[in-house]
A and B are shown apart, each in its own frame.
Chain A
Amino acid sequence: EVQVVESGGGLVQPGGSLRLSCAASGITFSSYWMNWVRQAPGKGLEWVANIKKDGSEKNYVDSVKGRFTISRDNARNSLYLQMNSLRAEDAAVYYCMIGHYAGNWGWGQGTLVTVSS
């Protein structure tokens, strides 16, 4: 059974940092591109970043470039998102998404990031 579990969300002040983690099991983790997708309250889905199977390529949405860093540890079947210089507009539920397109097993439950003073 595939399990995808995000963690690391919470309340942070503007300008602060958080590190999100995503642990995946039941899949050959190193076979998949991995993504972070976010959804602000009442808003649509926004793709944030992705990373190639071996970590050699990373892409970001313009609004997070220079502030967020995606990484992975294939030995630990884990994906990470280091978020620095957080802004109010970064507040959202952050989802880990497996692959180029993700069926039911390819999403976690999400972790909530709140940015507020």
Chain B
Amino acid sequence: DIQMTQSPSSLSASVGDRVTITCQASQDIRNYLSWYQQKPGKAPNLLIYDASNLETGVPPRFSGSGSGTHFSLTISSLQPEDIATYYCQQYSNLPPWAFGQGTKVEIQ
């Protein structure tokens, strides 16, 4: 089974900082990876699909990159409203469509 390893599990940064979260797949998933933001008590909010495509309406400070087994989500300039937990998820033809463990982002 495919496993998704996300890091770090949490981070603290200042407003305006560049923040990067990484996600590693245990097998090649090509570009079948999405990134979600989740705030407490809410359903996840799609940020990126197919590894690097920005979902409509998502601010351009969010970007995704990678293919194969290594992926990253970058917030170019952290804003207070970006406080949330972020998850990667793979959706290749190799089940399970696992999520990463999550990265909790806080403001310093």
Which A residues lie at the B interface, using CB under 8 A?
35, 37, 44-47, 50, 59-62, 95, 100-104, 106-110
* 10 A-B pairs with least C-beta separation: A59-B95, A107-B43, A101-B34, A44-B102, A100-B91, A101-B49, A45-B99, A103-B46, A47-B97, A61-B96
Interface string of B15-41 (1 = CB under 8 A from A): 000000000000000001010101000
Are B32 and A44 interface neighbours, CB within 8 A? no
Q: Which of A35, A47, A50, A110 contacts B43 (CB 8 A)?
A: A110
Q: Which of B43, B56, B102 contacts A95 (CB 8 A)?
A: B43
B72 interface residue (CB < 8 Å to A): no
Are B99 and A47 interface neighbours, CB within 8 A? yes
Main SS of chain A's interface residues? mixed
Interface string of B64-102 (1 = CB under 8 A from A): 000000000000000000000101010100011111111
Instruction: Using CB atoms, name the residue of chain A closest to B58.
Output: A103
Instruction: Using CB atoms, name the residue of chain A closest to B48.
Output: A101
Q: Which of A47, A50, A104 contacts B45 (CB 8 A)?
A: A104
What range describes how many residues of B lie at the interface?
20 to 34
CB distance from B101 to the nearest CB of A (A): 6
Instruction: Using CB atoms, name the residue of chain B closest to A50.
Output: B97
Alpha-carbon distance A64/B101, docked complex (angstroms): 18
Chain B residues within 8 Å of A59, by CB: 95-97
CB distance from B64 to the nearest CB of A (A): 12
Alpha-carbon distance A50/B99, docked complex (angstroms): 13
Alpha-carbon distance A107/B39, docked complex (angstroms): 14
Are A101 and B91 interface neighbours, CB within 8 A? yes
Chain A residues within 8 Å of B50, by CB: 101
Alpha-carbon distance A43/B91, docked complex (angstroms): 21
B60 interface residue (CB < 8 Å to A): no
A102-B44, A103-B46, A109-B43 known; 14 new pairs, CB 8 Å cut-off, are: A45-B38, A45-B44, A45-B99, A47-B89, A47-B96, A47-B99, A59-B95, A59-B96, A59-B97, A62-B1, A62-B96, A100-B32, A103-B55, A103-B56
